[in-house]
Amino acid sequence: MKDILWYIILSLIVAGLIVLGLFWGSVDVSSLDENSIYIIKNIRLPRVLMSLLCGAGLAVCGSAYQAIFQNPLSDPYILGVSSGASLGAAIAIILGLDIIFFGIGGFAFLFALATVWIIIKIASVGNRLHTTTLLLAGISINFLMAALIAILMVLSSENMEKIIFWTMGSMSATKFSDIWIVFLFVLIGIIIIRIYARELNAILTGNESAKSLGVNVEKTKKIILLFSTLMIGIIVANCGVIGFVGLIVPHIVRIIVGSDNRKIIPFSIFGGMIFMLLADILARVLIAPSELPVGSITALIGSPFFIYLLYNAKKQLNP
């Protein structure tokens, strides 16, 4: 019963923010004339929809990653997976693959998957993942990707602007045609992760513990990593790197509903939508008529939050 009340409140907040996102911006659309309708329908609506999808997808990916890596500080951005995807996207652009259907998305996904594989290889000790090493691996990958992208930008200066977009994150270039493909992947990803929510709970109590409860740990982890990374790839390919959503949202959700992933996932969908919509509105209006990259807004909120969590968790993670 209590949950239903929460869902109603959260839905109302999302609805309110959608309205705000459609009507508030650098251009006054209160007259609702032809021009205003055009702006709302063709510029703001796609952005709002993309923000909803990205927010939900990134937040659910974050909670999935935290379960798979058994580490409350995991998030696709911190682990370098998003940067990996953005490198893939940059390479696809330089190779001119943006004309092929799914060219950028496919490259972003493959690079994201490769990054996941690398950090798991680096951080594995026996059949466990070492927490500190995992975070350090992610940070190093982030450095490496940043360097490679910088080199690509210099070598391919005509594409510089497009590539910058991928490293900072933005909803501004959203078209309706992109939304459908993002919607499809986010929907499939969330459904798969929700199906395995109970298995993820068991994995949070340890690999051996989960196995003795009858969970096929390796298979579950592979499936969840594959589909969440696919979501990351497709989101990065369309909106660039937007960090910390997957860290902040599940954390706040956990404070409200506890650690049961069967609840965390639906609540993260709402939390992610709200957070992303707010971030995109702020990105548009803070220095209007200019615009900030939305990734910088999430990072401004996210990095202090991450430092705070790191500070709180250091005793717990390093006994």
Partner 1 sequence: MKMGEIDLILEAKNISYFVREKRIIENISFSLQRGGFYCVIGTNGSGKTTLLKSITNHIELSSGVVKINGKPIKKYYQKQLAKEVSIVWQHNEFLFDFSAFQVVMMGRMPYQKLLQADSQNDLEIVKQSMEKTNTWHLRNRSIKQLSGGELQRIMIARALTQESPLMLLDEPVSSLDIRHQFDIMELLKKINKENKTTIFIILHNLSLALKYSDDILTLKDGHLMHFGKTRDIINKENIQELFNVEAEIIDKDNIIINK
Q: Is 172 in the site for partner 1 (CB under 8 A)?
A: no
Q: Is 260 in the site for partner 1 (CB under 8 A)?
A: yes
CA dihedral 306, 310, 313, 318 (to 10 degrees): 150
Q: Is 208 in the site for partner 1 (CB under 8 A)?
A: yes
Task: State the minimum distance, in angstroms, from the CB of residue 182 to partner 1.
Answer: 25
Binding residue for partner 1 (CB under 8 A) from 163, 204, 224, 265? Answer: 204
Give the whole-angstrom CA distance, residue 142 versus residue 158.
24
Binding residue for partner 1 (CB under 8 A) from 8, 19, 100, 195? Answer: 195
Q: Is 291 in the site for partner 1 (CB under 8 A)?
A: no
Total residues interacting with partner 1, rule: CB under 8 A:
27
Q: Is 198 in the site for partner 1 (CB under 8 A)?
A: yes
Taking the chain, what is the end-to-end CA distance rounded to the nearest angstrom? 39
Q: Which stretch binds partner 1 (CB under 8 A): 79-87, 146-154, 256-264, 279-287?
A: 256-264
What burial letters (b/e) apply to 78-97, b meaning 16+ CB within 10 Å?
Answer: bbbbbbbbbbbbbbbbbeeb
Q: By CB neighbour count within 10 A (0-12 exposed, 13-18 middle, 19+ buried), where does 122 fall?
A: middle
| Contact mark string toward partner 1, 47..76, x via CB under 8 A | -----------------------xxx----
Whether cis (ω within 30° of 0) applies to the bond prior to 46 is: no
Nearer to partner 1, 160 or 256 (CB): 256
Q: Which residues contact 62 (CB under 8 A, 6 or more apart)?
A: 74, 75, 76, 245, 246, 247, 249, 250, 268
Task: State the minimum distance, in angstroms, from the CB of residue 304 to partner 1.
Answer: 22
Task: State the minimum distance, in angstroms, from the CB of residue 259 to partner 1.
Answer: 4
Asked whether the CA dihedral 89, 92, 93, 99 is positive or negative, the reply is negative
Kindly list the residues in this chain that would bind partner 1 in the complex (CB under 8 A).
70-72, 194-196, 198-199, 201-202, 204-206, 208-209, 211-216, 254, 258-260, 316-317
